[in-house]
Amino acid sequence: MTSPEGRGGSAFGSIQEARDGLARVGYVADEHIAAVVYLAGRLEKPVLVEGPAGTGKTQLAKSVAEASGSRLIRLQCYEGLDEAKALYEWNYRKQLLRIQAERAASSWQDLEEDIFAEDFLLTRPLLEAIRSDEPVVLLVDEVDRVELETEALLLEVLSEYQVSIPELGTVRATRVPMVFLTSNNTRELSEALKRRCLYLHVDYPELAREREIVLRHVPGIEHELADQVARIVRSLRSLELRKPPSIAETLDWARTLVILGIESIDAATATGTLHVLLKYRQDIERAAKELLAADA
């Protein structure tokens, strides 16, 4: 694909610059994540980010936008999402009012040209991102929730970064947006879509990285307590839970412990606050049993 004019290249000058930039806005990225973010800008390719829910996939796109000074445009995917909500639609009410106001128009052709104009176009996230003259990060969140027809639409738009509007012609990107598509693996995405993307799998963080995340985002927490939080959460994720704790829930638990003035976690403290970390009764009961057994 030929790069549209006006593209300024990657938002980051190197992999380390990408990692440092993300760190400045609070996103703790490892070398692999930083490398994919850097290459996505240099190669002008979308990034497909897959992994369990709650591992920071959506936050990565938000953080890239913040770190690079770009505008974030988000398309939240859901079952039944169609072209009118993803791409564009016409303002039918406004068109009807214009038709009623100009009933005496000399011909239908004159009226048609009048009502299918920019003033009547309602842009949705995909078209908005393509038309933007400023740096944009386009987040297509939970792309695995849409039907194959909508996935095909995404594929068409992201292949050439252009949109054909029959009444207005082809709209081409003057500045290629940086695109992140997230997936929780609820269904298999097409090979064609995957082929056009850089691939990034974001799993639950390693111990050291999660500890650093806690230290960065929980004011007043001591290093020892942050380490305990990260270790306990890591052990709980190894259990067969209905919903393993996400990074956001880890942070909520750490903040809770700080608010309660807890400096060290014992079994009683952990089991008494599990409702902040886990969200299903059977998960809480299973985790409490394991924690009490380990402390015995």
Torsion-angle region of residue 223: left (phi > 0), alpha (psi -120 to 50) or beta? alpha
* Average pLDDT estimate for 180-208: 93
Q: Please say if the pLDDT value at position 235 is more than 80.
A: yes
Binned at pLDDT 50, 70 and 90, residue 5 comes out as very low
Per cent of the chain over pLDDT 90 is 68
Task: Evaluate if residue 1 carries a pLDDT over 60.
Answer: no
What pLDDT, on a 0 to 100 scale, did the predictor assign at position 103?
A: 64
* Residue 225 Cα distances to 76, 215, 246, angstroms: 36, 9, 18
Q: What DSSP assignment string belongs to 95-124? A: HHHHHHHTTT-S-HHHHHHHHSSGGGEEE-
Look at residue 88 in the predicted model and tell me its pLDDT.
86
Residue 73 C-alpha from the chain's centroid: 10
Mean pLDDT of 265-293: 94
Mean pLDDT to the nearest integer, 150-163: 86
- CA–CA separation, 54 and 77 (whole Å): 17
Q: Domain coordinates of the chain in residue numbers? A: 15-80+124-201, 88-122, 207-295
pLDDT of 95 reads 67
* pLDDT value for 157: 86
Instruction: Say which range, 43-47, 71-75, 97-101, 278-282, has the weakest mean pLDDT.
Output: 97-101
List the structure tokens of 163. 């949109």
pLDDT averaged over every residue in the chain: 89
What CATH class is the domain 15-80+124-201? alpha beta
